[in-house]
Amino acid sequence: MKKILVIEDNTDVRENIAEILGLAGYEVETAENGKVGLVKVNQFKPDLIICDVMMPELDGYGVLKILASNPQFATVPFIFLTAKSEKVDLRKGMSLGASDYITKPFDDADLLESIAVRLKKSDLVTPAESHHMKSLDAIPSNYFNDKLKTFATEFELRRFRKKDVIFEEGNNARYIYFLEEGKIRVFRTNDFGKELTTRIVNAHEVFGFLDVLNSKPYSKSAQTLEDSNIRLIPIKNFIDLFYTDHDFALSMMKHLAIYSTILENGLVHQAYSSVRKKVANALIQCYEKNEANPVISMMRDDLASIAGTAKETVIRTLSDFKHEGIIDIEETDIFISNVNALINMPQ
């Protein structure tokens, strides 16, 4: 049974859609706003998402942008709901990866047809690919990281302090790294010593394996952003797992494909976005949620490296954001007050 998540702030509309989908044979979960929707996505792991555009807390564009940056959910079909009276930027939604738009009020048949088409397109494979793709479809989307989480417990756990270097560009690759706790930045350094962060690694994610697959020294460096616990998986053991576990090999291929797309999108933003957009993207990439406000605890040098701009420029831009009420600053901590303003920052 296919699972569908409905994110809609209007109670009547939300319940009506849920009833229609339930009668059509779908398993349905609902959320009343974007923030709750993101929590439900992680819990429910839907096959398709229906989301209103204009919502409090976090709008539909924000939901889609956050999901598009997550390899686990980047390929889930996403259908926007919009009222005729709402001004909607279709190009913006489609550029973020939306599959379709449905205008409210809608006909039940139109809604079900759009869902069926998007699910069919998501499942569509050629006959030659069907055997392999069925195997991949049967593998949970988080299989790659979950498998490594269990596998890594057999190997050394090493503790690193904040700002410790884990490996440097040009070093011979010896390990695959699984982050149990903490936060890591992966970066490259140009001939003038300027650093550009290409990835932020969060807990229960793996890093350092791309160069191993190419049998080359590390092409990037890795450094802790906070105290971190890391499992060191020897290369031989990782390669053995790849060749002996078919499901793991398939899930890694999918993981790499999605990661490559995310990296390319990040490079486009680095090349063409304004300074304000670069800093906004860096904040979105780094922020964590707790029970109060999203908070980022990070040195300005590191944030500048992620944004791809000078430290002084980051400081000025953060000051502007604070003056505009988008963020609040206490020493090195940055509290995000308006997530939508960051997500919808003009290019």
130 Cα distance to chain centroid: 28
Q: How far is CA 237 from the centre of its chain?
A: 28
pLDDT number for residue 246: 75
SS3 call for 230: strand
Tell me which architecture the domain covering 3-124 has in CATH.
Answer: 3-Layer(aba) Sandwich (3.40)
Torsion angle, alpha carbons of 331, 333, 338, 342, to 10? 100
What DSSP string describes 70-136?
-TTTTTS-EEEEEETTS---HHHHHHHT--EEEEES--HHHHHHHHHHHHHHHH---HHHHHHHHHH
Look up residue 325 and give its two tokens: 């009420």
Domain ranges for the chain, please list them: 3-124, 143-269, 273-343
CATH of the domain spanning 143-269: 2.60.120.10
Do the beta carbons of residue 296 and residue 259 sit within 8 Å?
A: no
**What's the token pair of residue 22?**
């339930």
CATH 1.10.10.10 fits 273-343, yes or no: yes
For residues 38, 41, 44, 47, the Cα torsion angle rounded to the nearest 10 degrees is: 150
DSSP type of residue 166? E
Which pLDDT does position 94 carry in this prediction?
A: 64
- pLDDT number for residue 95: 62
> In this structure, how many other beta carbons lie within 10 angstroms of the beta carbon of residue 234?
13
Cβ atoms of residues 92 and 62 within 8 Å: no
Q: What is the pLDDT of residue 83?
A: 78
Instruction: Indicate the SS3 state at residue 159.
Output: strand
Note whether 53 and 79 are within 8 A (CB): no
323 phi, psi to nearest 5 deg? -60, -30
What's the pLDDT at 252?
84
- Closest by Cα among 80, 17, 91, 85 to 52: 80
| Residue 27 CB burial class (10 angstroms; 0-12, 13-18, ≥19) | middle
pTM of the model: 0.53
Cβ neighbourhood burial of 347 (10 Å; 0-12, 13-18, 19+): exposed
Judging by DSSP bridges, how do beta strands 100-104 and 78-83 pair with one another? parallel
pLDDT of residue 304: 85
Residue 326 tokens read as 């988008």
pLDDT in tens, the chain (347 residues): 899 999 999 999 999 999 999 999 999 999 999 999 999 999 999 999 999 998 988 999 899 989 888 878 888 899 998 876 555 555 566 667 778 888 888 889 989 998 998 888 777 543 444 444 445 566 676 788 888 999 999 999 999 999 999 999 998 888 999 999 999 999 998 888 888 888 888 888 999 888 777 778 888 999 999 999 999 999 889 888 887 777 788 888 877 777 777 777 766 666 678 889 888 888 887 775 444 556 788 888 888 888 888 889 989 999 999 999 999 998 888 888 888 888 888 87
